[in-house]
Amino acid sequence: MEHIIRLAKACDAKEMLRIYAPYVSDTTISFETEVPTVEDFSRRIENTCDKYPWLVCRICDAIVGYAYASQHRERNAYRYDVDVSIYVLSEYQGVGVAYKLYNCLFALLDKLRYINAYAAIALPNDKSIRFHKNFEFSLIGIHHKTGYKFGKWHDVAWFEKVINTHDDNPKEVLLTKDISFEFLENLVSVK
């Protein structure tokens, strides 16, 4: 089965939302409490994809998973940091989709000169913790009873991964559009 990883586009929002909606409506994996509209989701992609990459995985002409980076914090000193997230259709979990998406995402984040990646995992979620540890994420702390969903308070574990070295004079982060077409073609043509 061929996996095609490519940059997401705003027009992918409907398919991506089909993946994301059950995480919002049925789980505490996402702390959103209402499923966004296709238009809102499309704007999220459009408004952030120049700076923070979004990737989709296509199998048999359907998007089955996506991963993306987003702003970690607002202050300028945090400009080398990103938060990362990944969502995969349940029937495509455990077949390499998430692994390939994250491999491509981190290769791209490295090329864009980001330094640190952070992942927030609502607890309990042993599967996600194992997955992130396989990508060399380390636990840095737990926010206790920080999210209220489904009539209950939930803890969130924060994990970090170092993508690039912490130089005293780091190069500025690049925009996705600044990356060469050849690099992106090599990155997103994964089988």
pLDDT tens column, 32-45 = 999 999 999 999 99
68-83 pLDDT tens trace: 999 999 999 999 999 9
Q: Are 143 and 158 in contact (CB under 8 A)?
A: yes
What domain range includes position 171?
4-188
How many Å is the maximal CA-CA distance in the chain?
49
Structure tokens at 131: 């997955």
Please check the confidence at residue 186 and state whether its pLDDT lies above 80: no
* C-beta separation of 82 from 137 below 8 A: no
80 residue type, one letter? Y
Q: How many residues does the structure list for the chain?
A: 191
Binned at pLDDT 50, 70 and 90, residue 4 comes out as confident
So what's the pLDDT on residue 191? 43
pTM for the structure as a whole = 0.93
Q: How confident is the model at residue 190 (pLDDT cuts 50, 70, 90)?
A: very low
User: What is the helix (H) or strand (E) element at residue 159, kind and residue range?
Assistant: strand 152-162
pLDDT of residue 189: 52
Rounded to whole angstroms, the Cα distance separating 131 from 118 reads: 14
Tell me the CATH number at 26.
Answer: 3.40.630.30
The two structure tokens encoding residue 171? 């190069």
Give the per-residue pLDDT at 99: 95
Count of domains observed in the chain:
1
